Structure 1
C-alpha cells in the first residue's frame, strides 16, 4: 500500500508535470508525457527492496514444502490463480489472517486464565490485567478478521474494486494493482524471493512462499500477471524485467492546444 510520502510525491509530480505540459509546444509534449508516465508509475507501484533479514517464522516451511512446485500445482488446478472467474470478472474472496492469529491467542488466553485461577496465589489480581488484555486483543483480532474480503478485477470497466463484507472500500484504475516480487535476506548473503499481490488501498496478499530460485519464480509471476492482465514488477525498482501493461492516463487541456498551435 502507498505511504503518505508516496501520495504527496505523486500529487506534486502530477501538478508540476501538468503545468509543464500545458505550457510547452506540441512537439515537446510527447517527450515530457513519456517521462511523466514513467515517474508516476514508479511512484505508485514500486517500493524499496527489503533488506530486513528473514526470521525462522518466515522460512520454517521452506525445507518441507517446495514453493515453486506448490505454486505450479495451484496454477495448473486454477489457471486464474488466485482469482476465480465469476460473470466475466476476476474475483478473489478470503478471510484476513488476523482471524487465525486471534483464534490461537484466544485459546491460549483461555487456557492460561483457567490455569492461573486454579493455582494457589496470595494475590490473584497480580496478573489479571495482562490476562484481560490478552482476551480483549484476541477478540479484537477475531472480529477484525471475521469479515470476508472481496477483490474484483473488471477489465471491461478497466477498474478494480475492493470490498470488506459488503462495503466498497476502494475503486481504482488497473494501473494501481499489480503483481510484485519482493526479496529479503536470509543470513548474510542469500536472497529469498516471494510473489505478492498488492495495490493502492488493498491488503497485501501472498501468492507464494519464499524461494531461492529467482528465474523460476519470476516466470511464474509473469505468467500469473499475463493471465490476469495486470502489471508485473521485479523486486528492483530499476529493472528491465518489469512487465507494464496498464499506465496512468494524462489528460491534456483542449484550450491549451488552441493557444499553442503546432510549429
Structure 2
C-alpha cells in the first residue's frame, strides 16, 4: 500500500514552516527507524517539502546551534560559580573559557538559515545560506547514503545521511543495528525525492542510480544485480 501525501504538503508551506526548520534535531533516542517511519507517513518527502511538482525544498538550522548554546551556558556557569577554577593548585579557568569560545563560535556559525532545493525540472540542486548561494550543480551530486560505524565490541551500526557536493551532511536517522529496515527507509526516501541511493559498501548491487554524470555509461562502484529484487513497497511494512 503506497503512502498518501496530505494535500497541505503539496500546496506550498504550512503555517508551521519555522518549526519545520528544526525537524532534523528530533531524531529520536530510541527506535530511530520507527521515528523516521512516522515522519514519512506524515510527509512522504521528508525531510523536504514539495513546493511544486518535481521541486523539493528543505529549510533548516544545524543542530550545532543547540549544542554550541549548551556548551556556552555550561562553561559560563563553571566560570561564574568558580567550579574547576583550581585543580591541585593549578589554574584551570582557561578550560571553561576555551569551551565558551568554542560554544560561541558554534552558535554564530549555525544561526544562518540553510536552504536546499532539489529542482528536477531543471535537473539541478541549489544550496544557500542566508539567501547567498554556496553551491549548485547537477542532481547526480546529491544522494542518500547508508553509513556504517562500529563500536569497540565489533557491533555494526547504520545511519542514513543526506550528502552532496559541498553540502553539509544531514543525518536523517541516528545509529541503528537494523540494516534491512535502514536500507528500506533510505531507498524509500531516495525514491520519493528522485535522487541516488548508495549502500555503505563502495561496490554494491544495492546502489540505486537514477542520475548519472553527463556522458557517463558505467561506474566501477555499480555491481549488476543478478536475480534478486527489492520487494518491499511501503513504510507500513516495517515491523519495529
Task: Tell me if both proteins adopt one fold, taking TM over 0.5 as the criterion.
Answer: yes
**CA distance, structure 2, for counterparts of residue 226 and residue 187 of structure 1:** 34
Unaligned runs of 5+ in 2: 1-26, 217-240
Q: Which of 226, 237, 240 is 2:191 aligned to? A: 226
Counterpart position of 1:162 = 127
- Shift in alpha-carbon separation, 1:193–1:120, aligned structure 2, 3 A: closer
Deviation of residue 128 (structure 1)?
Answer: 4.5
**CA distance, structure 1, for counterparts of residue 66 and residue 40 of structure 2:** 25
- Secondary structure in 2 aligned to 1:151? strand
- Shift in alpha-carbon separation, 1:127–1:248, aligned structure 2, 3 A: same
CA deviations on 1:137-190 (whole Å, 9 max, x unpaired) are 221111001111111100001010111111100001000010110111134332
How do residues 63-212 of structure 1 correspond to structure 2 at under 5 angstroms? 65-88=30-53, 89-116=55-82, 126-212=91-177
Q: RMSD of aligned C-alpha atoms?
A: 2.6
User: Which of the two has greater helix per residue?
Assistant: 1
- Secondary structure in 1 aligned to 2:74? helix
- Secondary structure in 2 aligned to 1:203? coil
The structure, 1 or 2, with the larger RCO (C-alpha pairs under 8 Å, 6+ apart) is 1
Q: How many residues align?
A: 188
User: Which of the two has greater strand per residue?
Assistant: 2
1:242 aligns with 2:213: no
Deviation of residue 109 (structure 1)?
Answer: 1.7
**CA distance, structure 1, for counterparts of residue 176 and residue 106 of structure 2:** 29
CA deviations on 1:35-88 (whole Å, 9 max, x unpaired) are xxxxxxxxxxxxxxxxxxxxxxxxxx99x6112211111100110011011244
**CA distance, structure 2, for counterparts of residue 120 and residue 98 of structure 1:** 29
CA deviations on 1:186-237 (whole Å, 9 max, x unpaired) are 3433211111100100000011122222112111111110100000011001
**CA distance, structure 2, for counterparts of residue 246 and residue 103 of structure 1:** 39
- Shift in alpha-carbon separation, 1:218–1:120, aligned structure 2, 3 A: closer
- Shift in alpha-carbon separation, 1:120–1:237, aligned structure 2, 3 A: closer
